[in-house]
Structure 1
Amino acid sequence: MIKILLATDYLLVVNFLASLALFLHCVFALNRMNHRSNHLVRAWYVISAVGAFGVITGPLYGYISPQPAEVISNVGVAGLLAGGWIYRNRRATDIGEPR
């Protein structure tokens, strides 16, 4: 019983952190958009942010045992967005090339 409880708590923490990263990425991306931004991309960010916010606030309403597939999905999407962010900002950590 203790192992199941600990595994559930770990899944809850991992799901919370992945959803928090996804929510913050979506909010920051929406903040950078203007009236000429693609509306389908904007809709995807809004829907993702609302879904991530729902996962973040889920424990307030008694949702404390996330399904493993949901956790894997949230971690995967957060990883894809983090990979894109790292790729886009790779010059900030680059040691430089000889010119």
Structure 2
Amino acid sequence: MHHFYLHQPGNKASGCVLVSDGKPLRFRNRKDALSYVMRRCYQDGATEGEPVINIEGSDGRWRAFDCRLMPYKGELLPSGASDDAVAPDSTGFH
């Protein structure tokens, strides 16, 4: 199962960064990134209630969500989101 970390964007013009198993992916906005996560979860057979994504809020706090994007009541996923892991691909977006 993949684990995802969605950073809070610095500004809307820069898009957003989703880290998937240590690899940064750039998206135009958070909605596109979350759509990608949902597709991957169902392709991978994620079960409801299983934590799959940590999302950084505008307050800087990380929160865990399951494959339905419902809040996960347990612990956050293991740390894997690194601010220095952000490197856009040649187009700047996925």
Q: Same fold (TM over 0.5)?
A: no
Query: For the pair shown, which has the larger CA radius of gyration, 1 or 2?
Result: 1
Task: For CA contacts below 8 A with separation 6 or more, give which structure has more relative contact order.
Answer: 1
Which structure shows the bigger proportion of residues in strand conformation?
Answer: 2
**TM-score normalised to structure 1 length:** 0.28
Larger helix proportion, structure 1 or 2? 1
Q: What TM-score, normalized to structure 2?
A: 0.29
